[in-house]
Amino acid sequence: MIRDAMNAKPVLDLFKTKLSVINLGLESFAANLVREGANAVHVDWRTPAGGNAKAIAALDAIEAGTAVDVEKANAEAVRRILAAEPTVVGIGLALDVVPGMARDLILHAGPPVTWGKMCGPMRGAVIGGIMYEGLAGNPEEAAALAASGKIRFDPCHHHDSVGPMAGVMTASMPVWIVENKAFGNKAYCTLNEGLGKVLRYGAYSGEVLDKLRWMRDELAPILAAALKLHGPIDMKSLIAQVLQMGDEGHNRNRAGTSIIIRELAPHLVMLDYPKDKLSKALAFMNANDHFFLNLTMPSAKCSVDAAAGIEGSTIITTMARNGTEFGIKLSGLPGRWFTGPAGVVDGLYLPGFGPEHAARDIGDSVITETSGIGGFAMAAAPAIVKFVGGSPKDAIDVTMRMYEICDAESLSYRIPVLDFRGTPTGIDVRKVVETGILPAINTGIAHKDPGVGMVGAGLVKPPENAFRDALVAFAEKYARK
Amino acid sequence: MKRITVKRGSYYDSVFLMLATRSLKGLDGVREAIVAMATPMNVDLLGDMGFPTTELDGLGPNDLVVAVDAANDKSADAAVKEAFESLDRKKTESAASGVTKVGSFGAAMSRAPDSNVAIISVPGAFAAREARKALEAGLHVMVFSDNVPLDDEIALKKLAVSKGLLMMGPDCGTAIINGKPLCFANVVRSGTIGVVAASGTGLQEVTCLIDRYGEGISQAIGTGGRDMKNAAVGGMTSLLAIEALSADPATKVILVVGKPPAPEVAAKVVAALRASGKPCVAHFLGAAQAKDEKNLAFATDLEEASLLATLLAMGETSIESARACILEDSGNDRYNRPSKAAIEKIAAAEAARLAPGQKWLRGLYTGGTLTDETLFMAHATLGGVRSNNQTDPAWTMADPLRSEGHVVIDLGDDFFTAGKPHPMIDPAARAERLAKEGADPSTAVVLIDCVLGYGSHADPAGATVEAIRTAKAAAIARGGYLPVIASVTGTPADPQGYSDQVAKLEAEGVVVMPSNYRAALVAIEIARKAAKGGAR
């Protein structure tokens, strides 16, 4: 009597099928099966979420069921990031174009921070910004004003903007206007000031302010006019090109700076300005390898902003640092920052400087990684592999690891050495927490004292707790139980 | 000097860490060494041992720590070098094994979408969530890990049953599916006997004996120790396995082995066997002998269970006729079983050489179920045997490290394996204990197992012979003699080779019996004679 064993059917199917095993844990179990002729794939298992019980409970709760379909929400978030069409449409004054900008408002990099908690470089930049705006006559007055409460501080990110390093933006600074043509949203970023003593590294001496004024009064109008002749610049296409020319879009911008000069030069020389002024503008861009960074950043910003605020999405839409804290935002939890202490950059130093001079991790430039370039495209930039271990293989390893925490691959930004595979895009906070693989972030290093400038560059680890806290908050909002 | 070396972001399996730790401890000038992941527990441990834990701040379970207490810098350098080399050997070996490696379960599924079984041997605290993922993906699951909470086991098994999937374990050491050995299992021939077993070495012993009797295995399904024993788990896996084997055309006979089930579970299991429509054999270790039913034999030991199943598979048409075939005669029968009379003769010859004062049985086991089988037999016959596996608190060993009177020890018990490899993987701990028992002039007989197959040590007999030789020589030097009795759980097709292992033991004068049951009979008989003062 053979009974009708409906419930056991999958077991009976197993008995009839070739054994094919997924092995987690002791690797020898997989090796033995292969030796005996079975199929086996071994999983190089790691403790989930570093063994953090709260984070594991959040992962499990989300997996057990959510009020909104997370996979669908993430697919939409990723679709929007990939479909973005960042385009440079103009240059304007912050007060005129940046939403919510005001005379008494200073925007800064990273999550919210008070004057009392600002790091050295950011305080320096704020002092410089106040003097640049003519609100104070000397640094002491400026610092007193900053501390008085009469000046408001707000993150760039709260005003559709991003700023490198200290990221200070004041009302009368010229800004790039980048529009995401696919979704109509815009992002803003100041013009890059070059290297050495610059405001973004906290310098506020007379020469720093003079240069800012020159940028406002001469450089910006020239570039704006040239841009008008050129017409809107398709940044997606330019970024795609620079990744194939040895840039990764964050720490190396040499190809990008060259290419933007190439784009603008034919129009720039046609302008009705004295030759020496046009030449000075071109020479300024040429002397600053990072000129292109301030175009890449708002491009990345308006690309990921289109994916913000999607109910139920675990995609990270913002990462930013203010020199005191590192913060992230999730698409599905709009308006909320999750922060941890800003890290110390593991990097290489310019001659005469060392880790003892370094400020903590600072700047909004990590928006590039958030959008899938920068550290995530490290394999594209063999020229700067020294920052990640020294060999091109190290750079490839960095990018390969990032695929494990992302939901998608870019359709436009491709890496030649990976057989033109798209860069890892759409960081899923669930994967970051589960695997413990933190986003790889390339960055510059500021001197901890205001006004000294850049002292090196390297790689920084974001604080793991920011990602765990975000995941736990997500589970609290969306998990059914 | 105490030194700590850290390698961040490098996760290693605990077995490899323990083997690396062991390889350091033998080095010149190394007083203490630990190779471990920086779990909070290990960090505390290192602190207790006097290592400077400030260097461990901010480390987590994915960071590797090599802690060495050495006589000088040179020894410490050598130890750290050996630690990394030992761990790297593992990596090189794995590269040569031809196993595809990926970073996550999801990646494994996309690499091999036809996968049908997941084997999980990660730390117990994390095993349940990996098992759940695998079940959700539609895979049958074998959880080797122990220390999985009971609630998790119940939830996982409910999920599995709702999907008709096998959830073997937790704490399931052995299975044979479609002829392939999973985890700790032997290479046995294919056949028509389907086995459902709660325990690892119990399943290994019956499958190896069946192989030796000329029959084979259709499927051998492990369930984990709590499946039948715990009423809340309710035999969920056992019942599904019995249902599947009942419907499986390749299975002619069903054999169930385990500890006595909870009463309500026992009723369900027996009902399922009755309803299977196939001849069935059940053996519940240490249970009161139940009466045979028409299609269901209750065997008294692992050997009898294997033999009855074999005979039924080979065509015996009833339980009675199968039982009739295994009545013992006076010599070794066609199943190579020395009879009670033959055993009496062997025991008498061994016991005759004992010195006065040699009184006690010392059973030193690497396999848990084999320990239990011997323990139940000896406890009854010898009037009380101490063991770390004893269920009777009066006879539980106060200190498992110290033998007193008759003793049968499970060296694979958590007490012995905390921070050390299981003795089936590394028999060194058993060899040490054997040397200790051999040095005790009151020891009358040493009884050991020797478990072969995948998962086990590459040469368990070879790893034990030196200790046997030393112990036997010491006994003779004292004017006595040390009988050592063994059985080898294995098959000719196992990587270690059955006859090679038997030959290695016999070369040292070990009496090797064809089953643990017979080995225990011999040893118990020697101990009985010794206790009666029959020696000399």
Task: Say how many CB pairs under 8 Å bridge A and B.
Answer: 205
Closest residue in A to B242 (Cα–Cα): A8
The verdict on A71 touching B (C-beta cutoff 8 Å) is: no
The verdict on A51 touching B (C-beta cutoff 8 Å) is: yes
Distance CA A278, CA A285 (A): 11
Predicted pLDDT at B534: 46
Predicted pLDDT at B94: 45
Closest residue in B to A7 (Cα–Cα): B164
Q: Does the pTM exceed 0.80? A: no
With an 8 Å Cβ cutoff, are B134 and A22 in contact? yes
Q: Is B370 helix (H, G, I), strand (E, B) or coil?
A: helix
Distance CA B157, CA A49 (A): 25
pLDDT in tens, B140-162: 999 999 889 999 999 999 999 99
Distance CA B453, CA A343 (A): 51
Predicted pLDDT at A387: 73
- B-contacting residues of A 385-444, CB under 8 Å? 404, 435-436
Sign of CA dihedral A93, A96, A100, A101: positive
Q: What percent of chain A has pLDDT over 70?
A: 98
Closest residue in A to B249 (Cα–Cα): A2
Chain A positions in Cβ-Cβ contact with residue B182 (cut-off 8 Å): 21, 29, 33
Task: Work out the end-to-end distance of chain B between its first and last CA atoms, rounded to an integer number of angstroms.
Answer: 55
Cβ-proximal residues to B95 (8 Å cutoff; 6+ apart), any chain: none
Q: Which of A4, A18, A20, A26 would best serve as a mutation to test chain B binding (most B beta carbons within 10 A)?
A: A26
pLDDT at A407 over 70: yes
Predicted pLDDT at B417: 83
The verdict on A10 touching B (C-beta cutoff 8 Å) is: yes
pLDDT in tens, A229-250: 999 999 999 999 999 999 999 9
pLDDT in tens, A248-277: 999 999 999 999 999 999 999 999 999 999
Predicted pLDDT at B23: 81
Closest residue in A to B178 (Cα–Cα): A15
Q: Using CA atoms in the order A342, A348, A351, A357, what is the torsion angle rounded to 10 degrees? A: 20
pLDDT at A154 over 90: yes
Chain B positions in Cβ-Cβ contact with residue A389 (cut-off 8 Å): none
Nearest to B373 by CA among B142, B172, B188, B197: B197
Residue B197 CA to its chain's centroid (Å): 13
A24, A42, A60 member nearest B100 (Cβ): A42
pLDDT in tens, A103-140: 999 999 999 999 999 999 999 999 999 999 999 999 99
B126, B129, B250 member nearest A15 (Cβ): B250
- C-beta separation of B484 from B346 below 8 A: no
Predicted pLDDT at B330: 54
Predicted pLDDT at A316: 98
pLDDT in tens, A159-197: 999 999 999 999 999 999 999 999 999 999 999 999 878
B191 to chain A nearest CA, in Å? 13
B397 to chain A nearest CA, in Å? 32
Mean of the per-residue pLDDT values for chain B?
Answer: 91
Domains of chain B: 2-96 (3.30.70), 172-325 (3.40.50.261), 340-531 (3.40.50.261)
Q: What kind of fold does domain A55-81+300-478 have according to CATH?
A: v583 fold (3.90.1700)
Sign of CA dihedral A117, A119, A120, A126: negative
What does the domain layout of chain A look like in residue ranges?
9-45, 55-81+300-478
Instruction: Name the amino acid, one letter, at A12.
Output: L
- C-beta separation of A30 from A42 below 8 A: yes
Please give the helix or strand (H or E) that residue A96 lies within, else none: helix A94-97
Q: Which of A6, A13, A24, A435 would best serve as a mutation to test chain B binding (most B beta carbons within 10 A)?
A: A24
With an 8 Å Cβ cutoff, are B102 and A14 in contact? no
Predicted pLDDT at B125: 87
Query: What residues of chain B score a pLDDT lower than 50?
Result: 92-95, 534-536
Predicted pLDDT at B524: 97
Both structure tokens of B526: 């020697």
- C-beta separation of A317 from A330 below 8 A: yes
With an 8 Å Cβ cutoff, are B240 and A38 in contact? no
With an 8 Å Cβ cutoff, are A29 and B182 in contact? yes
Predicted pLDDT at A474: 98
